Each structure stands twice: as structure tokens, then as C-alpha cells.
Amino acid sequence: MSQVILITGGSRGIGAALARQAAARGYAVCLSYASKRAAADAVVAEIRAGGGQALAVQADVAEEGDVLRLFAALDATFGRLDALVNNAGILETQMRVEDMGAERIRRVLATNVLGAFLCAREAVRRMSTRHGGTGGAIVNLSSRAARLGSPGEYVDYAASKAAVETLTLGLAKEVAAEGIRVNAVAPGLIDTEIHADGGEPGRVARLAGGVPMQRGGTADEVARAVLWLLSDEASYTTGTVLDVAGGR
């Protein structure tokens, strides 16, 4: 039986690259998406065409009912869970904190923080030896923003990623003796569509010169780091944050 990986936000960007690479390494892939069904279906079709197993489920990670439905679909189709990647994340239009409305901040925190908590909870309930599971690994997508702060752009997003890093640290210690490793990856400037959501599709190109390696990163480069943390190669690594940021 293949190892099973659940990737939230697997329809585009880093999540889609991760889904493709995970399938190539033999994982059966369950990916979730928020609204872009055609993009999710295309990733699933590509994996199946390559002989792999894949399932796409629409589920808003900020909604508990959707998360429960996502895990029920995973259980029904694959019957096990070995790896969770909390990848779904959003940012909103660049602005200063003094201009942010409560609803915007609530949306960002609900998706990036509450969503990661709910999915981690469901994964622990399935993986932990305390609950009869056989262990597993979780990787949370943080961001270099957690420690840079994103002033003038999205301090709410940066703060949400700092929360993701603390979730990683605390949960890692909580479940370390129960067969589960929990780590985070903090990407720097990665070329995906998320920057357009902030109102600046060309943001990576604008800031690339300030990166020590003089370029933005690719979704595939982040995916490889995530897969290493999930693998047995990282068997003594838990509670860490791995920067994938070209030195930024």
C-alpha cells in the first residue's frame, strides 16, 4: 500500500508542485482546493496519467465542517494518512496596518492559522500512536515573512505565519513521543500567483535583486524541501523551521 499524503491547497503554486513530486515518489495524493476546480482536476489528471493515485476535494480549510468532510473523503478513498502538508494560505492587498479592516484580518488568520490547526488536529487523531495510529509527519508552510514582518504590505499575513511557526514548535513537542514529526518550511520569494493576490504580480522580479542569491525561487525548490522533511531522511528532525529563501 502506498504512503498517503494530504496537501491542502494543492491546485496551484507550491501545493501543485508538491502534489506532482509526491506522486512521482510513490505517494497516493489527496489534494484540497478552495474554488479553482479546473486547476485541481488538471493536477489530478496529470498524476493519474503518470500511473499515480490522486483525489481532489473542495474544502475551505477555514471552515471546520469542510475540514471534517475533507478528512472523511480521505478516509473513504485511501483509508490511511502518512503525511500532511498544511500549504493552503492567503494574503490580501498590500496596505498598512492602519488601513486594514477587521474582516480582512479575520480571513487571513482563519485560513492561515485556524485552517492549519484544524487540519493538524485531524491528522494527529489519525496518526498518533495514542489514538491507535502508526505515526506520520506534518509540514506546515510558514514564510520568511514571519520574521521579516512584511511592513507596508501584509503584517497580518506575516503574523499568521509566526503563529504557524509556534504551532509547529508546540505540536512537535506534544506528539514527538507518539510517532509524529512536525516541521515547517519558510519560503522566501517564490514565483507563484499569490503575489497577484497582493496586487503586485511582478513582486518577485522587483525584489529579486535584494535576495543574496539574486533570484526568486520556484515552487519545485520549495516542494523538494517539504518532501525531505516528510521523508525518513529527516527521521530525527522535528520542531524545526527550514528556510528556503536564497539567503533572504
Among 28, 43, 54, 141, binds ligand NAP (CB under 6 A): 141
36 lies in the binding site for ligand NAP (CB under 6 A)? yes
Burial environment of residue 26 by CB neighbours within 10 A (0 to 12, 13 to 18, 19 or more): exposed
User: Closest by alpha carbon to 139, among 237, 247, 69?
Assistant: 237
88 lies in the binding site for ligand NAP (CB under 6 A)? yes
What does the per-residue mask of binding to ligand NAP show for 45-74, with x meaning CB under 6 A?
---------------xxx------------
Taking the least distance from each CB to ligand NAP, the nearer of 178 and 197 is 197
Per annotation, catalytic residue among 27, 33, 154, 157 = 157
89 lies in the binding site for ligand NAP (CB under 6 A)? yes
Among 23, 43, 73, 190, binds ligand NAP (CB under 6 A): 190
For the bound state, the minimum distance from the C-beta of residue 4 to ligand NAP, rounded and expressed in Å, comes to 19
Among 54, 158, 159, 189, binds ligand NAP (CB under 6 A): 189
35 lies in the binding site for ligand NAP (CB under 6 A)? yes
Among 4, 5, 6, 13, binds ligand NAP (CB under 6 A): 13
Among 5, 6, 12, 92, binds ligand NAP (CB under 6 A): 12
Among 19, 30, 34, 138, binds ligand NAP (CB under 6 A): 34
3 lies in the binding site for ligand NAP (CB under 6 A)? no
Give one DSSP letter per residue of the chain, joined into a string: ---EEEETT-SSHHHHHHHHHHHHTT-EEEEEESS-HHHHHHHHHHHHHTT--EEEEE--TTSHHHHHHHHHHHHHHHS---EEEE----------GGG--HHHHHHHHIIIIIHHHHHHHHHHHHH-GGGT---EEEEEE--THHHH--TTT-HHHHHHHHHHHHHHHHHHHHHGGGTEEEEEEEE-SB-STHHHHTT-TTHHHHHGGGSTTSS-B-HHHHHHHHHHHHSGGGTT--S-EEEESTT-
The contacts of residue 2 (CB under 8 Å, 6+ apart) are: 26, 27, 28, 53
How many residues touch ligand NAP (CB under 6 A)?
30
9 lies in the binding site for ligand NAP (CB under 6 A)? yes
236 is catalytic: no
By annotation, the residues acting in catalysis are 157
Q: Which residues bind ligand NAP (CB under 6 A)?
A: 8-15, 32-36, 39, 60-62, 87-90, 111, 141, 143, 187, 189-190, 192-194
